[in-house]
Structures are given as C-alpha cells and as structure tokens.
C-alpha cells in the first residue's frame, strides 16, 4: 500500500470516528477507537510507539511517543483541543525526523468539523 493510500485510509477512518463520537472527548478515547477502526480496515497500527533520539551513535530516550504509527509508514498525532498551537506541527515534525518517517497526520478531534482539524506534515519527498 502506497503512502497516499495509507493516509486516505487513515482520514476515512478518522472521519468515521469523529462522526460517530463527536468532537471534544479526551484524546485517549480517539486514539483507542481510531486504532481499532484502522485495524478493522486491515491496517497495521502501533500505539504509543517510542521515538528515540539518535546522535553520534548514541541513543537518548527522552520519552517521545507517537500516538499511532500506521503500516510502519505514517505517524498520526492526535489532539482534542479547541485550537492547535504552533508547537503541535513541530512536535509531529520532530517525530518524523527522529524516526526517519516521511509523512505524518496531525488530527484535532476537538474541532466541530474534523476537516478543519487536519494537517499533513511532510519530511522530505514521498512515494506518492
């Protein structure tokens, strides 16, 4: 499955979850239910995946955790806020760079309409 197909599947599942549960619940609820929905659709999902810092052949464990990693390709960072802050895309970009992944989705389930709560973050070129 190509990167764009994976992100489309994630977004379809996220819209389904958002329309079923509505906005504004705790982030952990959306994480659990979205992971379930993605697995139900046949995708491999890891929850709370550790992201390490590697520098000068050393590993630093600073406790970074990606909410979801789908198909070992796309990092999904979930929020449930009235409005995203400037730090949230930086957080996802940090995870992408440290993990070597290329594509991330920042999903804010706090938005009344999920389409206003989606940011796609790119770390370099993608395979389409």
pLDDT tens track for 69-110: 999 999 999 999 999 999 999 999 999 999 999 999 999 999
In this prediction, residue 20 carries a pLDDT of: 98
pLDDT of amino acid 89: 96
pLDDT for res 112: 95
Q: Which pTM does this prediction carry?
A: 0.92
- For 69, other C-beta atoms within 10 Å of its C-beta total 21
- Residues 6 or more apart in contact with residue 18 via CB below 8 angstroms: 30, 109, 114
Q: Look up residue 86 and give its two tokens.
A: 């400037």
pLDDT in tens, 4-16: 999 999 999 999 9
**Domains (ranges, CATH) in the chain?**
3-122 (3.40.1350)
For the chain, give the mean pLDDT.
94
The answer, yes or no, to whether residue 126 has pLDDT greater than 60, is: no
Which segments of the chain does DSSP mark as H helices, in order?
3-21, 27-40, 87-99
Sign of the four-CA dihedral 116, 87, 93, 91: negative
* Total Cβ atoms within 10 A of residue 97: 12
């Amino acid at each position: 499955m190509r990167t764009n197909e994976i992100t489309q599947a994630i977004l379809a599942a996220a819209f389904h979850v958002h329309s079923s549960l509505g906005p504004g619940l705790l982030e952990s609820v959306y994480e659990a239910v979205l992971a379930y929905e993605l697995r139900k659709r046949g995708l491999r999902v890891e929850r709370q995946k550790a992201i390490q810092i590697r520098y000068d052949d050393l590993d630093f464990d600073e406790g970074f955790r990606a909410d979801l990693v789908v198909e070992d390709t796309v990092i999904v960072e979930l929020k449930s806020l009235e409005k995203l802050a400037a730090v949230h895309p930086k957080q996802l970009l940090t995870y992408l760079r440290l993990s070597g992944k290329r594509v991330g989705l920042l999903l804010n389930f706090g938005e009344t309409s999920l389409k206003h709560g989606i940011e796609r973050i790119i770390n370099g070129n993608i395979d389409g």
